[in-house]
Amino acid sequence: MQSKFLFSMICYELRDAVGDENISIRESDKIVHSVDHYWAPRMLADHGILPPQADIIVRPGSTEEVAKVLKIANYYSLPVFTWGGGSGSQGGALPVAGGIILDTKRMNRVLDFNENSMTVTVETGMIFQQLEWYANERGYSLMHYPSSIACGTVGGFLAHNGIGVLSSKYGRIRDMCVNVEMVIPSGEVLHSAPVPEHSSGPDIKSIFVGSEGTLGVMTKATFRLFKMPETRKFHAYLFKDITDGIAAGRDILHSFKPSILRLYDEAETVSIIKKILGVEKRGAFMNLALEGDAEVVTIEERKLDEICAGYDAVNLGSEYGEKWWDSRLTFFYPDHMLDVPKIFGTMDTTASYDNIEKIYWAMKRAVEENFTGVRFIAHFSHWYDWGCMMYDRFIMDHPPEDPEEQLILHNKIWDKAIREALANGGVINDHHGVGIKLGRLMKEQYGNTMIVLEGLKKTLDPKGIMNPYKLGL
């Protein structure tokens, strides 16, 4: 801010735009909005070091109020960081340049529920679990079940093009989204095409979805609805190794679409099998779910057994899958999920079937051979006709004491592993997004093609106020 007087005048304009009660400059509010689920700010806070903070927290309650706030911010060249539930793991919402946190959670209304078209239109500040419950009460589901469903917002999931555990059958959030509304810094309200499938030029919706708040603020979205499945059946198999498991997963996807397909590497398999059978067995454990019409699922179950038997997989029944489904969110609750003081990261990447195992071994070697005391585990949990996603993690139980040394080490591990993914046909990230954590690697992935994203940024946000330093922009 240029002066205390100018700061006061800006605060007055923002209060006039959204109401006195929806502006905060309290230190406690600024601290709350400075830590998300990215490892770095959590590590700093754990050491008593305050992460970067915004100057003002603003809570608009409508598209019109968002437009007013952005026009004010644009006039004064103030950075704007859109904040939903603070559940992101890439630092995508962190206010690294001060300015305004635009908290969307007042925009939490269902605007339309259309049973004829099977769509629902909502404001983007709504916690996604609330939207799912709303649909469930009416006999429907959005079929988007990420681990952060209870604390992430509609807009947050759209911003990084997130994915849920049922993605192999129903797709990612972009596939479930019909259209979106977005406000850009000029205050103009933009809309994608009313329907998601067309040949009316490039898909504007896909430009907005995944843009991580760098182009504007998404304020409304329409989603597909699905009828609740008649049945959901779980199955588990043990393969001799991930080579056979990946090949079987490919064959399954080419035959039918399971809602869940999770294949674990040997390190995770040993732990899982011991829980199920009480003995140690090595190999690659696969957990699946089939759902929909009961008669169709019965046919899919028969075909599933045939495919897995072709790879000499051991059928382990349904118990583990049912337990996993019932506790799928518990894994991410406090005292269950990874947290400081450990150093850790989830380096999910996606590749074609001919590259994904190669990437697994390259990243595993990069982590375990170059960094003492760091282990690597992985599973493959979102599958496509052409390839699959690897959800891989590095974990260091006993990091150095110095926080600066920890941050440097954390970044080095990320760089070493992700560059191996890129070198072998993978991408920077599958579904957690880029944020500030991985922005430095965007040009390494896209090369001179980055001019497309840079051109959009310069056109829609010429002053560069929207979520600066994220997504490599």
| pLDDT recorded at residue 321 | 84
Using the structure block, give the residue that is written with the tokens 């006993």.
398
| pLDDT recorded at residue 286 | 95
| pLDDT recorded at residue 337 | 79
pTM of the prediction?
Answer: 0.95
Regions in the chain scoring below 70 on pLDDT: 1-2, 276-279
Distances (CA, A) of 354 to 20, 351, 376, 384: 57, 8, 21, 13
**Over the stretch 172-206, which tens digit does the pLDDT of each residue have?**
999 999 999 999 999 999 999 999 999 999 999 99
User: Are 421 and 427 contacting, i.e. CB atoms less than 8 angstroms apart?
Assistant: yes
Percent of the chain with pLDDT over 70: 99
Phi, psi at 313, each rounded to 5°: -75, 145
Percent of the chain with pLDDT over 90: 92
| pLDDT recorded at residue 20 | 97
| pLDDT recorded at residue 383 | 97
Let me know if 106 is exposed, middle or buried by CB neighbors in 10 A (0-12, 13-18, 19+): middle
**Angle, CA 31 vertex, CA 128 and CA 185 arms, to 5°:** 65
Q: How far apart are CA 81 and CA 98, in angstroms?
A: 9
User: Are 181 and 212 contacting, i.e. CB atoms less than 8 angstroms apart?
Assistant: no
| pLDDT recorded at residue 70 | 98
| Structural element, H or E, at residue 275 | helix 266-277
- Residues linked to residue 57 through DSSP beta bridges, in sequence order: 24, 101
| pLDDT recorded at residue 276 | 64
| pLDDT recorded at residue 2 | 64
| pLDDT recorded at residue 353 | 98
Residue 30 CA, chain-centre distance (Å), reads: 24
